[in-house]
Chain A
């Protein structure tokens, strides 16, 4: 018989394996999976006990079997996994309708950017477990106890890519419904069901009592079967040993309630044993699983934030798109992600709920850049992203490594587009935005656009993408060219909403091209579209007129209760002044602003100076001397790191203004800057020191190529060659990573003779710097400046 799940029957899993092994003498710190090889009968007897107590599925003893653990155990991974599956399978096949699950837990490493494990390596780590387990005959795959949604996504992709077995996926949550790595219950549900898990839920973490609100949240949002495997309560420590505080009776009562509310797959985790399962089986006799009251919703998410469409207006920020933005184009060509990250943070502060990310420029590698942008943006901003590209390859790579459930922008009614984009959305669990155009172009009537929207929806459903994961953009045309079209677009928005029940998205500001005072047209068009039921405008969240239109709309439509949001934003609007560092009489000299570390004042002072001097002159005559004087104060301990950095930030603000002018004027001055590649070495994930040096060096007009943290030696060499950089700065925090610093320097000496290497970091000393073969050791950023400026 083949394992299958349905809504009407309860499936009972086993209880804890670890608890049972400890009772039989497994010591703390021992590797339980080794017992598959050294004591197979012991493992078999535990499975037998669980089957005898009435469970339908046992989990093979493979929870921690992965390449890292196998290395510690000194046994091949495949042996640990296949022996375990074979033991469980044999136990199951002696009975009727019983199954063996390949049990996979977290791999023990943390994915980038928080840790050092690249996403693709994680997929590979799980793939080899899946391959071994399915070859050994597992009936299903259970991914459990995950606390990092990103790691779980890697495991789920691995399971799908390497087997056809059903996959059940559960996470472990704290009492507040958040996992150790910040994932919420709702984000888990959105992500896992979009990725095609066969069931999802919660295990471990807490006792059944504490899980009640979490299970309710899962049941009210999941459209697929729900699984619950609680611990036997919370651990109590008595005489140094742990005991759990929930009896088998109480446990079974709770599980029965979960089943009556709609959970269909149940079992136990830490602290439970066959006694718990036996009682649970008895309690569930004759109990029909309740019907879940989950509502199908259109939503996207990151691990810590979900955005649902329909309840309230969703603002999609449009600023991360290089079209028509010279500074962003220049930043992308220089692979400078700081600019992108700042823009992302700014849009979040301005109230965007989702960020559109488009990295399309004719002369850059778009798939690589979009992927990089997604990783970097997700490391600092928790807003869901709308992946925007016309290149299916770029969309596929970005959707794969995206952490959560993204929105893909876009598919359209053309056959080719549907065939290429929809499978990507399906495989990587994305919602998809459909543009109402096809091979014939954009229909001029609302009916024509509705027809294409329907085609997109139906095609998506054929690929297994539920209707709520399809959003429609009815396309705004330029009113100065086709005046009647604005009305058609608005009508189409309403028709798509009413006739198809789909959520709509619209890039509004195109409407006013070619007209004066565009903001008037834009915000009016926005208001009109919102009245037709538009769910999500794509817009500049910093556009005051648009923001006002939305704020007013929300009050008038009762979406802003007691107008609280509006009042908070607009009461005393007249008194509101732009951010100001400090009250000053008249403008401050740039040197003064830098010394005091006042960003706004530094920018103002730079503007004043610009009326009489060129950008380069200001850098040479004003900024650098001011920084020198601040640096001297720092070195004589008159001021300290926070003040030094504040001055550096003020100088940076001034620099940003000057560089935007240089970029606009397209002069070649920027070429004259000395180039320095900077990186925290391979294996080291602490990069604050490197970032301090970077900010200071930038202020001394070095062109910094920042490779980030945990950078392999080859990447450093590659960057030096690509940018023709004369200097390399390397940082290492720990003694263990000093060796990778040496490897990097050795490779640089071989591949890039003539490059100057300067090193720093907490453990570094002059003798260590000599040992790694560096040219210089700098104890801090100011010393680095002094060394590099004097040579």
Chain B
């Protein structure tokens, strides 16, 4: 059991459910494991990324001399970079169907399932980010991964990431009228690439979840 809790996804799901490490029971652990397996079975993870030349302005970034992504917080994070990666990742629409059905069947399993799906998209995004690191040159370093919705970057900037990556065609990622990602468990992000190493940690002050973050509540951070 102990090593199970150390498995990062299970641990992440438990944290998202608000369960501290010392309060987790073996029954809860096995329930989380069971729901995580359902997510694994229904998930078809896909991701896409590409590199762009950028120019960083005071409160926006110009990509390939073609389109801007707005946000002072993002510009601050990418200050000094000449290159950036755009990325998008998703678990696929099967997860949306599974989550809907689970909520009709049994809400107690559904809340666990939802947390597991969130943990899983985080894992898939990390993997994609790993690919970006591999594709970058040895002297290049990645800045913090920054998604629309963090800080002052409007959610609608996701549309530009999706278009530039052709992510609709490549991984089936789309937006709603209010700029929410569909499939639901998906991520879009900008990663500045610089020639100097900087701290990559996520800055809680920029995060729009700072008021309700399950990690922050216990004095931690999501650690990415």
Query: Are A180 and B108 within 8 A (Cβ)?
Result: no
Q: Which residue of B lies closest to A72 (CB)?
A: B159
| CB neighbors of B among A126-182 (8 A) | 145, 147, 172, 174, 179-182
Task: Kindly identify which residue among B103, B154, B166, B171 contacts A688, using a CB–CB cutoff of 8 Å.
Answer: B103
Please name all residues of chain B whose beta carbon is closer than 8 Å to the beta carbon of A181 when the two chains form the complex. Answer: 93, 172
Query: Are A684 and B100 within 8 A (Cβ)?
Result: no
Please name all residues of chain A whose beta carbon is closer than 8 Å to the beta carbon of B165 when the two chains form the complex. Answer: 28
Task: Kindly identify which residue among B18, B93, B149, B212 contacts A640, using a CB–CB cutoff of 8 Å.
Answer: B18
Task: Kindly identify which residue among A179, A237, A685, A688 contacts B110, using a CB–CB cutoff of 8 Å.
Answer: A688
| CB neighbors of A among B147-195 (8 A) | 149, 154-155, 159-160, 163-166, 168-169, 171-172, 174-180, 182-184
Query: Are B107 and A695 within 8 A (Cβ)?
Result: yes
Please name all residues of chain A whose beta carbon is closer than 8 Å to the beta carbon of B65 when the two chains form the complex. Answer: 27
Tally A-B pairs: CB < 8 A. Answer: 158
Query: Are A649 and B155 within 8 A (Cβ)?
Result: no
A559 within 8 A of B: no
Please name all residues of chain A whose beta carbon is closer than 8 Å to the beta carbon of B112 when the two chains form the complex. Answer: 642
B101 within 8 A of A: yes
Q: Which residue of A lies closest to B83 (CB)?
A: A240
Query: Are A763 and B104 within 8 A (Cβ)?
Result: no
30 example contacts (A-B, Cβ-Cβ < 8 A) are as follows A28-B50, A28-B64, A106-B168, A110-B182, A115-B174, A147-B172, A179-B172, A180-B171, A181-B93, A181-B172, A270-B169, A342-B104, A345-B104, A379-B97, A379-B100, A642-B31, A643-B28, A648-B107, A649-B108, A684-B178, A685-B176, A687-B103, A688-B103, A691-B110, A735-B155, A736-B178, A737-B178, A762-B209, A763-B208, A763-B211
Instruction: Give the contact-size bracket for chain A.
Output: 35 or more
B3 within 8 A of A: no
By Cβ-Cβ distance, the 9 closest A-B pairs, closest first, are: A180-B172, A683-B178, A645-B108, A29-B164, A646-B108, A116-B176, A110-B182, A380-B101, A27-B66
Determine chain A's interface SS by DSSP, over half rule: loop
| CB neighbors of B among A632-654 (8 A) | 637, 640-646, 648-649
Query: Are A110 and B23 within 8 A (Cβ)?
Result: no
Known: A734-B180, A765-B211. A109 touches B174 (CB 8 A): yes
Known: A641-B18, A642-B17, A762-B212. A692 touches B111 (CB 8 A): yes
A591 CB to closest chain B CB (Å) equals 18
B219 CB to closest chain A CB (Å) equals 15
A219 within 8 A of B: no
- CA separation between A646 and B112, bound complex, in Å? 11
Query: Are B19 and A691 within 8 A (Cβ)?
Result: no
Task: Kindly identify which residue among A72, A644, A686 contacts B184, using a CB–CB cutoff of 8 Å.
Answer: A686
Please name all residues of chain A whose beta carbon is closer than 8 Å to the beta carbon of B176 when the two chains form the complex. Answer: 109-110, 115-117, 683, 685, 710
Query: Are B111 and A341 within 8 A (Cβ)?
Result: no
Query: Are A29 and B183 within 8 A (Cβ)?
Result: no
A114 within 8 A of B: yes
Please name all residues of chain A whose beta carbon is closer than 8 Å to the beta carbon of B28 when the two chains form the complex. Answer: 640, 642-643
Query: Are B169 and A338 within 8 A (Cβ)?
Result: no
Query: Are B174 and A110 within 8 A (Cβ)?
Result: yes
Known: A640-B28, A736-B155, A762-B209. A182 touches B108 (CB 8 A): no
Which of A114, A642, A687, A692 has the most CB atoms of chain B within a 10 A radius of its CB? A642
Query: Are B99 and A117 within 8 A (Cβ)?
Result: no
B125 CB to closest chain A CB (Å) equals 18
Query: Are B182 and A685 within 8 A (Cβ)?
Result: yes
A673 CB to closest chain B CB (Å) equals 20
Please name all residues of chain B whose beta carbon is closer than 8 Å to the beta carbon of A380 when the two chains form the complex. Answer: 97, 100-101, 104
Please name all residues of chain A whose beta carbon is closer than 8 Å to the beta carbon of B108 when the two chains form the complex. Answer: 597, 642-646, 648-649
- CA separation between A221 and B178, bound complex, in Å? 39
Query: Are B111 and A641 within 8 A (Cβ)?
Result: yes
Contact with B along A222-237 (1 / 0, CB 8 A): 0000000000000001
Query: Are A115 and B178 within 8 A (Cβ)?
Result: no
Please name all residues of chain A whose beta carbon is closer than 8 Å to the beta carbon of B172 when the two chains form the complex. Answer: 147, 179-181
B146 within 8 A of A: no
- CA separation between A637 and B22, bound complex, in Å? 11
A113 within 8 A of B: yes
Please name all residues of chain B whose beta carbon is closer than 8 Å to the beta carbon of A28 when the two chains form the complex. Answer: 50, 52, 64, 66, 163-166
- CA separation between A117 and B111, bound complex, in Å? 26
B92 within 8 A of A: yes
Please name all residues of chain B whose beta carbon is closer than 8 Å to the beta carbon of A516 when the two chains form the complex. Answer: none
**With A29-B160, A108-B174, A683-B178 given, can you name 7 additional A-B contacts, CB distance below 8 Å?**
A114-B183, A380-B100, A644-B108, A683-B177, A685-B184, A688-B114, A710-B176
- CA separation between A190 and B146, bound complex, in Å? 43
Please name all residues of chain A whose beta carbon is closer than 8 Å to the beta carbon of B51 when the two chains form the complex. Answer: 240
Query: Are B168 and A108 within 8 A (Cβ)?
Result: yes
| CB neighbors of B among A322-372 (8 A) | 338, 341-342, 345
Known: A345-B101, A345-B104, A692-B107. A736 touches B19 (CB 8 A): no
Please name all residues of chain B whose beta carbon is closer than 8 Å to the beta carbon of A342 when the two chains form the complex. Answer: 104
Please name all residues of chain B whose beta carbon is closer than 8 Å to the beta carbon of A683 when the two chains form the complex. Answer: 176-178, 180
| CB neighbors of A among B1-35 (8 A) | 17-20, 23, 28, 31-32
Please name all residues of chain A whose beta carbon is closer than 8 Å to the beta carbon of B184 when the two chains form the complex. Answer: 685-686
Please name all residues of chain B whose beta carbon is closer than 8 Å to the beta carbon of A237 when the two chains form the complex. Answer: 135
Please name all residues of chain A whose beta carbon is closer than 8 Å to the beta carbon of B139 when the two chains form the complex. Answer: none
Please name all residues of chain A whose beta carbon is closer than 8 Å to the beta carbon of B175 when the two chains form the complex. Answer: 108-109
Task: Kindly identify which residue among A109, A338, A695 contacts B177, using a CB–CB cutoff of 8 Å.
Answer: A109
Task: Kindly identify which residue among A29, A110, A641, A763 contacts B64, using a CB–CB cutoff of 8 Å.
Answer: A29
B96 within 8 A of A: yes
Please name all residues of chain B whose beta carbon is closer than 8 Å to the beta carbon of A379 when the two chains form the complex. Answer: 97, 100
- CA separation between A504 and B15, bound complex, in Å? 55
Please name all residues of chain A whose beta carbon is closer than 8 Å to the beta carbon of B111 when the two chains form the complex. Answer: 641-642, 645, 688, 692
B36 within 8 A of A: no
Contact with A along B56-77 (1 / 0, CB 8 A): 0000000111110000000000
Known: A380-B104, A643-B28, A762-B209. A686 touches B164 (CB 8 A): no
Please name all residues of chain A whose beta carbon is closer than 8 Å to the beta carbon of B163 when the two chains form the complex. Answer: 28-29
B32 CB to closest chain A CB (Å) equals 8
Query: Are A172 and B178 within 8 A (Cβ)?
Result: no
Known: A180-B92, A735-B149. A116 touches B177 (CB 8 A): yes
A581 within 8 A of B: no
Please name all residues of chain A whose beta carbon is closer than 8 Å to the beta carbon of B92 when the two chains form the complex. Answer: 180
Known: A204-B169, A380-B100. A116 touches B160 (CB 8 A): no
- CA separation between A688 and B66, bound complex, in Å? 38
- CA separation between A155 and B63, bound complex, in Å? 34
Please name all residues of chain B whose beta carbon is closer than 8 Å to the beta carbon of A765 when the two chains form the complex. Answer: 211
Query: Are A114 and B93 within 8 A (Cβ)?
Result: yes
Query: Are A113 and B182 within 8 A (Cβ)?
Result: no
Q: Which residue of A lies closest to B162 (CB)?
A: A108
Query: Are A172 and B174 within 8 A (Cβ)?
Result: no
A311 within 8 A of B: no
B94 within 8 A of A: yes
A575 within 8 A of B: no
Task: Kindly identify which residue among B94, B105, B179 contacts A736, using a CB–CB cutoff of 8 Å.
Answer: B179
A112 CB to closest chain B CB (Å) equals 10
A30 within 8 A of B: yes
Contact with B along A734-757 (1 / 0, CB 8 A): 111100100000000000000000
Please name all residues of chain A whose beta carbon is closer than 8 Å to the beta carbon of B64 when the two chains form the complex. Answer: 27-29
| CB neighbors of A among B78-125 (8 A) | 92-94, 96-97, 99-101, 103-108, 110-112, 114
- CA separation between A177 and B66, bound complex, in Å? 36
- CA separation between A487 and B35, bound complex, in Å? 52
B136 CB to closest chain A CB (Å) equals 11
Task: Kindly identify which residue among A30, A116, A642 contacts B66, using a CB–CB cutoff of 8 Å.
Answer: A30
A693 CB to closest chain B CB (Å) equals 10
Query: Are A691 and B178 within 8 A (Cβ)?
Result: no
- CA separation between A640 and B28, bound complex, in Å? 10
- CA separation between A16 and B144, bound complex, in Å? 37
Please name all residues of chain B whose beta carbon is closer than 8 Å to the beta carbon of A116 when the two chains form the complex. Answer: 176-178, 180
Query: Are A640 and B23 within 8 A (Cβ)?
Result: yes
Please name all residues of chain A whose beta carbon is closer than 8 Å to the beta carbon of B182 when the two chains form the complex. Answer: 110, 114-115, 685
- CA separation between A436 and B116, bound complex, in Å? 52
